[in-house]
Chain A
């Protein structure tokens, strides 16, 4: 066998179900209090400081991290339950989600002790928002072509250049960014980039919002002009960020957020079809159910492997590849299946509103966090083709 893909039938342990009950009760209270409307994903602010703090108080941010940094030492599978319940309910978790998913784990691994003690407990309390500074105007998927420069100076580094498509930068407290500290070498074009922790309020950083085609201001250009980053904000090896990138990919790419982004249109379709759909509606819905169940079982399986300390990079990339394509196609499948429904069905306005939003959001799903093409390159490498 050239390739061996592993997707064991991992089941969530019983403690996850107790937790799930708590999470659902919490979300129901938040909905009742008017914090968010699960049926209106396109409306309202996905960043909600009050909500994130209440989530933190519940102990649902930094769940897997050590207690001495404010974490809760719970399992990846428990974190999985919280993530999927939040996602399925359209809970406004943008503020803390990136910090919880990837920035925190990177800091845990590479930040000096005093920084960990300062920042991680605040992430766990839902107080901090993180942005990721990777893409630049001249480099997107080609991550290692980044040019924004960090030049050594007294006690730290001076940053010049710009990052782009930076989600959350408009409100972020910190950014984890890749800056060029040396030119690439002939032997290794990935050499020369270093990972930094940037305090967004530092002088010399200007954030310019970029309006998306949905009408929302979701991402930004971040311009650095002689911005200063102190030495103790260097994360990991200087010039060696490329060695640090791969193991995080499985975390970032295999979660339930990679196939549930447009899930609300499926729920609304079920509402629209009613208890006795015609054969076309039933068959179309059934296929979507089977596909969703499959994606979730794959995703849980990867979470189980992460919990077991494995690094399922190929499996994680496969989940994101299949998952994002599925959630991207979902609005159109729902549109097709709803085409012959009676005009006077009760939730038509909601369904149409949701479809409009999901259809506009759909193109970005296979771009953000690693494009389809990049993912397939990673999978091909895992298969032994490159």
Chain B
């Protein structure tokens, strides 16, 4: 369905090998045009707000496929932005977008005249986005705002994979549109949906890495044998499969939870925080194993492996890293107490 449509577009226009050889970013424009024509960037925006209304589960399915292609255009970010705007009933523009804040410690304030001030670091693809969906705060009031990226000051910064990840400074920026955030939608909720998005993409990237690694181990000859015949290599690849499986299971579980949930309750918190932690750990382990399998060739610019490994290693830091969510989750579990812990685990 929609995920298959996405896969076809990625295969045609976002082949990682082709993009890795590209001299410039000329591949981006036709790719984005095709994605837009298929309604994918606004999949999470209801039809009455200008989107495709494809549903939460379908959107996550698209992102899993995007991870398998190490997609380097702001599709996930535009999906997230559309979703945030829809919470407040703000119509989504048909442009590349991103969301802010994207890190737990950042805060954007909104003053009495509705102007935004503050700084958000590591905002993914901010310099390729035309609009930013912002969650702004004033005391206990929360506002969702649509901001033109050109109205903000953008610091030039990139993640490990070379994708834009800018510092965005808001200096009394007047939003194009703004509306109160619905009850229960706060910074934690924004981070949780971002965390789940990154977990789903990471699981997709890990699937691709496993596939590439197994294929290589079955071809590469050393000591007169295919290296995949060596037990040491087999054990490493089995470990990699375990990490892929863990990331896949926990991220699809979190995505499913969000798709079924009416509010960002405890279930969403447990599932999404766990997904970000465990998928991040899987990215760390999985990248190391895959590079070990490929040896020196996998460490070259020319080889496609880094498109996956560096991207998923960078994703660990978006929307709260493993340590951040672990501390949050640990505090929550400790507060509930030992007798309530098993019931919480078993409730999912």
Q: Which residues of A contact B (CB under 8 A)?
A: 1-3, 5, 7-9, 11, 20, 84-85, 88, 266-268, 270-271, 273-277, 279, 281-287, 289-298, 301, 314-315, 318, 321-322, 373, 375-377, 379-380, 382-386
Contacts and interface: CB of A to CB of B under 8 A. Distances in A.
- Please name the 5 residue pairs, one residue from A and one from B, whose CB atoms are nearest each other, closest first: A286-B326, A286-B330, A282-B330, A376-B238, A286-B329
A385 B249 contact: no
Given A9-B255, A294-B246, 11 more contacts: A9-B253, A11-B256, A276-B331, A279-B327, A284-B326, A286-B327, A286-B333, A293-B274, A296-B346, A376-B235, A383-B241
Given A293-B274, A385-B234, A322 B333 contact: no
B348 A290 contact: no
A3 B214 CA distance: 8
Given A282-B327, A296-B348, A271 B242 contact: no
Interface stretch (B9-17, B72-80, B311-319, B336-344): B336-344
B132 interface: no
B253 A283 contact: no
B245 A293 contact: no
Contacts, number: 185
Contacts of B348: 11, 293, 296-297
A2 B215 contact: yes
A315 B214 contact: no
A97 to B, nearest CB: 19
Interface of B: 207, 210-211, 214-215, 217-218, 228-229, 231, 233-235, 237-239, 241-242, 244-246, 248-250, 252-253, 255-257, 270-271, 273-275, 277-278, 281, 322-323, 325-331, 333-335, 337-338, 341-342, 345-346, 348
Given A274-B334, A276-B334, A284-B330, A297 B250 contact: yes
23 contacts: A1-B211, A3-B211, A3-B241, A5-B207, A5-B210, A11-B348, A84-B346, A267-B341, A270-B338, A271-B338, A273-B334, A274-B334, A282-B330, A283-B327, A284-B326, A285-B326, A285-B333, A287-B322, A287-B326, A290-B329, A293-B271, A294-B249, A379-B241
B345 A293 contact: yes
A101 B28 CA distance: 54
B214 A384 contact: yes
Contacts of B322: 287
Contacts of B250: 290, 293-294, 297-298
